Amino acid sequence: MKTVLITGTSSGIGLATAITAAQAGYSVVATLRDPSRAQDLLSAADAAGVTLDVRRMDVTDAGSVADCVTAVAEHYGRLDAVVNNAGISNFDPTMEMSTMDNLRANLEVNFFGVIEVSRLAMPLLRAAGGRLVTIGSVHGVVGQPFNEAYCAAKFAVEGFMESLAPVARAHGVAVSVVVPGFVPGTRFGHFPDINRKTIQAISGDYAPTFAAYFDWVVSQGWEGAGQKTQEVADVVVHTLTADDPPFRVATSDWVEDYLAEKLTDRDGRRVQTLAATWIGSSPEVAG
């Protein structure tokens, strides 16, 4: 039986992926930073009639990652796949409204944590001819106003994995980035009103621009983009099991169309023009 290690399984996409992978026949090592938050995961596993191996892993703690990967290797004798899912949302603009500490904390989880897990798991994945799958984001391809830190981390993940992919493939490991869009019902899938009030209060000269952007987000910006966590989990597990998975895997037709705005935009004008409509502005910049 193949073994997959999944990070960030306490809720959302990680939880759904752990259950779906177990149903597909994998031995699932479901990791999370705080094991006391595993109740929803365990309840879902019980309801689905599957068994999970729940272990602690803090992706920002190299010792924690090493201990978990070593324990998995000792227990199972192999590791066939890793799903990098652990991450934190960040709606905390860096221009005058955030701190460098917040930016570094975001990168520690959303970028360096992904790299740490991938780096330590790679020898086992090479031995198994395995899969390395990372949950990216449309915000890792198309930059989003007032979401600079999160976008920076996801862009970094895309670049790292795209660079790693041909080297890993030459050594028997398929690397893929699964790109979801808006997933309501998770901590990533909502914009709490307190965030709007807080950011509005400290945004200074950017206040009108932020107000226009937020209005676009909640009124029409994500119309048709919403997906259920199970839909994303199904795509992740299909990527794990496909004979020859692509590098970038969109989770819906909406995501495909959204990414096309960037991937066919040679000089950046199309995305800048599009983003200007999100904030009630013009793409023209005074010289």
Span of 95-99, 115-119, 281-285 with lowest mean pLDDT? 281-285
CATH 3.40.630.20 fits 3-190+225-268, yes or no: no
Tens of pLDDT along 151-206? 999 999 999 999 999 999 999 999 999 999 878 655 444 444 556 677 677 677 78
| Average pLDDT of the residues of the chain | 87
**Percent of the chain's residues with pLDDT above 90:** 61
User: Model confidence over 33-82: pLDDT tens digits?
Assistant: 999 999 999 999 999 999 999 999 999 999 999 999 999 999 999 999 99
Using pLDDT thresholds of 50, 70 and 90, give the confidence band for residue 91.
low
Contact 232, 180 (CB under 8 A): yes
**What share of residues in the chain are helix, strand, coil (percent, to 5)?**
55, 10, 35
Active-site amino acid positions: 150
Q: Cβ contacts of residue 286 below 8 Å, gap of 6+?
A: none
pLDDT band of residue 261 (cuts 50, 70, 90) is confident
Q: Are strands 174-179 and 248-250 parallel, antiparallel or unpaired?
A: parallel
| Domain residue spans of the chain | 3-190+225-268
Consecutive H or E run containing 58: none
**Separation between Cα atoms, residue 31 and residue 60, nearest integer Å:** 13
**What pTM value is reported for the model?**
0.87
